[in-house]
Amino acid sequence: MLNASNTPHLANPNGNVSSGGFGQITSTSPGSRTTDERYMRLGFKATF
């Protein structure tokens, strides 16, 4: 199970020194399907 703790993937903080939001993180980084929150992969093996 990936990301079992449901931790958000945060984007980089605002790097513009002259803005009022300097150093603030205001969004999450767009992830792929393998890094999305609460992603599970199941497997099954059958032997006869």
Q: What is the pLDDT of residues 9-48, one digit of tens each?
A: 788 888 888 888 898 988 877 765 555 666 677 889 999 9
Q: Model confidence at 8, in pLDDT bands (50, 70, 90)? A: confident
Dist CA 31 CA 35 (whole Å): 6
Q: Cα(first)–Cα(last) distance of the chain, in Å?
A: 27
pTM: 0.46
Q: What pLDDT score does 14 carry?
A: 87
What CA–CA distances, in Å, run from 25 to 3, 5, 7, 18, 33? 20, 20, 15, 16, 22
Q: Tell me what pLDDT residue 45 has.
A: 92
CA distance 27 to 12: 8
The two structure tokens encoding residue 5: 């703790």
As given in the structure block, the two tokens for residue 46 are 């059958």
